[in-house]
A and B are shown apart, each in its own frame.
Chain A
Amino acid sequence: MAVNAPAASPAARTPPQNVKRIRRHQWASLLWVAIRTPRGAIGLGLASFVVLVAVIGPFVAPQSPYALVTLAFGKPNGQFLLGGDFLGRDVLSRVLNGGWLLLIMAACATALGIVGGAAAGVSAAYLRGRSDGIIMRTVDVILAFPQLVFALLLLSLLGPRLWLITIAVGVSHAPQVARVIRSATLDITERDFVKAAELQGMRPAKVMAKEILPNLVSPLMVEAGLRLTYSIVIISGLAFLGFGQEPPAANWGLMINENRIGLSLNPWSVIVPAALIALLTIGTNTFTDAFARVTIGVDRRPEEAALIDDLGGEVSE
């Protein structure tokens, strides 16, 4: 029922109100839209379930994760719901205790990779010329190593420490993030508002931080979700290979390695930690995908978005 008010003065005109329309600046509302899509809801549900297990786990675990309380590879029973591991420790308690450190490390590594990668990508794209060449060739060199191999290389040189693992994984993410962010930035630096800021005599660092970065929020968020998934896989993979927490620590990756010899005796000791890692990666990936689909609608080129609006179009599909 939005009949335009008489156009006596442009200021008196009613602002266009479109309920279906997503405001570009309201990231919260964008996330909310993503959550309400079936894809987003499933993804978020799966991921939050695993996060919940990892966070609440240590407080509700029935046993100590280190106590030898049951038979080695003991079958599940009323007291030990998931049976025993290769030393006869309670699998359930170890599962509940073994996630939080993995999550923290994955989150830190992701944050590191995103921040480093975004900084490199934005500067390469905005400064162009020699900076671009130097940054991107460095990136290419790091990219030449598979991520896991790169992390292993750093760890075997510097020794396996938890903080080092986090940094190694973060650094191995940065080049991939830089690639994506650089191409997204190239598109934005061509727009005139960046030139307008330059004409205001703004310093390059400020142009990047104040004008360009706010326009990269959606690719950055998508990238963060994707990198979180990889971080989880790499960190648990490293734990499986023996880099990470030392035994007897409870760790999902380590547990899979320790217990795989008894897969036929008590499969739950391998399946449950593996399934939790899988659920977490699938969950974050699915949610990221849902978010990306929502933002594609929003980050269309402005003229195109205006055309869709003229038709009263909505963002979905």
Chain B
Amino acid sequence: MSHRAAPPIQTTPAQRGIRLKVADLEVRLGRSGPDVVSEISFAVQAGEVLGLVGESGSGKSTVALALLGHARRGLRITAGQVLLDGQNLLALPPGDLRAVRGARVSYVPQDPSSALNPTLRVGTQLREALRVHAGVIDNPADRVAQVMQEAYLDATPEMLRRYPHQLSGGQQQRITLAMAFACRPSLIVLDEPTTGLDVSTQRHVLDTVRSMCRSYGVAAVYVSHDLAVVSGLVSDVAVMYAGRIVEIGPTARLFREPVHPYTRGLIEAVPSPERAEALTGIDGQQPRPGRRGAGCSFAPRCGHAIGDCTTEDPEPVVIAGRSVRCLRVWDIQATRPERAAAVACPPATTEAPTLSVRGICASYGSTPVLFDVGLEVPPRACVAVVGESGSGKTTLARCVAGLHSNWTGEITFQGAPLARGARQRGKDVLQRVQYIFQNPYTSLNPRKTVGQIVAQQLEQFVDLPFRERSARVVQVLEDVSLGGDFLSRYPDQLSGGERQRVAIARALVVQPDLLICDEVTSSLDVSVQAIIVELLRRIQQERQLAMIFITHNLALVRSIAQSAVVLCEGAVAESGSVEQVLERPVNPYTIRLMEDVPKLVGLERPGTSGSAASGRRVDP
């Protein structure tokens, strides 16, 4: 009855429940290029979900697609087996493989809005899934209604007649789930299906996945970068790094006592909505395929690395109920992971607020998005603005920054009212209010060097001799932990985290009084997010900045802000100190939001996922 965990799997005849077994899967670039993923082995029992977690570039999506016998253009599956109920999918001829896909193995993509055909009614698309595999299901018409109900959708004719754009994001994703489950597959591969959905919608979709897998004995592989989401859903977790599985084991154990230094780092980087603690990121970058070098790929970023780590390739070792790829696993297991330091909260001030927003109503064209929103930012304090997508939080930030000028109300900055648009504002105001954009991939001009980008900001506002200007640019780059040797680099030579640091440096170089951070970490990996948040917190305290931190991630709020404003559909649902809003929320919306935030289950509620895992029953 025990969980299997070790990559070299021994299948015993007793384990009849094993649906999917992957052995030594390897995907390369071209026929003989560098390996993108290699030595991937795991197994999934019927009715269970395996989580495949890792940061961008770890190869998790490549593995997910390989489970369907598919490789993205330029890639090739070069070795290994994908055994579904004992049949090797990778050895099937193309025609047979096509018959298997969609019928016995199905795939749920990340973005439902692009996965559904916008010109076909959802009913047509659902029936198509069944028609392609005629004969798999006896009565297709009944099955459509049935699978819709399983996916918690109304199986009404009106619903089936709708086009994808007439559905919400969560409904769209449930339609793709229904399509995936329509033919009663044995295996379902979910590639980050809840990324881009709001926490509440995300929770509904996760519940749907869980119940559908359990009731029909479907094995599922759930790919995600979000540890918290995975911890609440899956029974086993495989952590991927640089194309290998570095740690694999039962969820609760793995999250409660992570052994691999990378797993530990990832877990420490995940912000918690329940504790105010400093976040610890993992410095450095994941090596790309072909540049992984000898030894352990994680060694350059690992605090435990010794000489052997850079020369010797670690083999998986079974320890404490999971399998770990680390040379120093025995030494590391003995050490306890460090608990993060709590964040000290600066005392509230009674001074006049740096920024005060009163009665803001904003609209796009004739569509109103903000209704009578108020907000105050005291000097030297950080206020978090939290809300789901569409709540108007970015619009609020843009009104303050002057990027959105269609608003009424009053915004007072340092005692003086702010003009509506950036064009009407004085240089002085533009300099003192700085804005950091959400996506560092579009906020830096790709044709300019880092030096030019930062220096241009300075030139626009301050008249300085060349030498002094250069000195200040270098100084600010060092403040954001980039050195002077970044001056001549172009944005496309930088990682996402480095780009965001450049954006931060650009804002800081003119010494602003108010910093507006608009979802600055939402496009970054969790280990990088932790570094950026810590950087912002350090800078905010050192430079005594007032800051507005916009985020959809409630958990992040604790680590950086002192007070919080919760926006719901363009209106303030609740505001107050962070403790008050997160611990004793009054508004039903905030309460629901707090409940729906995925939390790292292994840490908080050990046992829940264990019981979920043992309750594996295959429905006839």
Contact = CB atoms under 8 A, between A and B. Distances in A.
A10 B456 contact: no
Contact of A313 (B56, B74, B425): B74
Interface string B276-314: 000000011101111101100000110000000010000
A195 B404 CA distance: 11
Contacts, number: 131
A214 B445 contact: yes
Given A196-B437, A200-B460, A312 B444 contact: no
B443 A10 contact: no
A199 B293 contact: no
A24 B457 contact: no
B461 interface: yes
A11 B482 contact: yes
A192 B490 contact: no
A272 B479 CA distance: 68
Contacts of A214: 445, 447-448
Nearest to B295: A3
Interface in A264-317: 302-303, 305-306, 309-313
Contact of B445 (A15, A16, A215): A215
B401 A199 contact: yes
Nearest to A7: B284
A156 interface: no
B33 interface: yes
Nearest to A10: B481
B162 interface: no
Residue from the set A2, A201, A302 with the largest chain B CB neighbour count within 10 Å: A201
A205 to B, nearest CB: 13
A130 interface: no
> What bracket does the count of chain B residues touching chain A fall in?
35 or more
B442 A310 contact: no
B483 A6 contact: no
Contacts of A2: 291, 293
A302 B34 contact: no
A57 B57 CA distance: 57
B441 A7 contact: no
B483 A196 contact: no
Given A198-B403, A303-B441, A10 B490 contact: no
Interface string A181-216: 000000000011101101111100000000100110
A3 B293 CA distance: 5
Interface in A1-20: 1-7, 9-13, 15-16
Given A24-B490, A199-B401, A302-B442, A11 B291 contact: no
B493 interface: yes
Nearest to B58: A310
Given A3-B293, A193-B444, A302-B441, A199 B285 contact: no
Contact of A312 (B288, B446, B485, B490): B288
Nearest to B510: A200
Interface in A212-244: 214-215, 217
Contacts of B568: none
Residue from the set B446, B482, B493, B498 with the largest chain A CB neighbour count within 10 Å: B446
A25 B435 CA distance: 27
A161 interface: no
A167 B36 CA distance: 55
> What bracket does the count of chain A residues touching chain B fall in?
35 or more
A101 B23 CA distance: 70
B72 interface: yes
A23 interface: yes
Given A13-B284, A311-B29, A312-B33, A195 B492 contact: no
Given A10-B284, A302-B492, A311-B289, A201 B481 contact: no
A212 B447 CA distance: 10
Nearest to B291: A2
B116 to A, nearest CB: 21
Given A7-B283, A310-B57, A313-B74, A200 B441 contact: no
Contacts of B446: 24, 215, 302
Nearest to B485: A11
A3 B443 CA distance: 30
B357 to A, nearest CB: 18
A120 to B, nearest CB: 22
A51 B538 CA distance: 62
B153 interface: no
Nearest to A314: B74
Given A10-B482, A24-B446, A305 B57 contact: no
A13 B497 CA distance: 14
Residue from the set A1, A5, A7 with the largest chain B CB neighbour count within 10 Å: A7
25 contacts: A1-B293, A3-B294, A4-B284, A4-B285, A4-B293, A4-B301, A7-B284, A10-B284, A11-B484, A16-B493, A24-B447, A24-B492, A192-B437, A195-B437, A198-B403, A199-B401, A199-B402, A199-B434, A200-B461, A214-B448, A302-B491, A302-B492, A306-B441, A311-B289, A313-B74
Given A23-B490, A199-B401, 19 more contacts: A3-B294, A7-B284, A7-B301, A10-B481, A10-B482, A13-B285, A192-B437, A192-B442, A196-B437, A201-B460, A201-B461, A211-B445, A214-B445, A214-B447, A214-B448, A306-B441, A310-B57, A310-B289, A313-B74
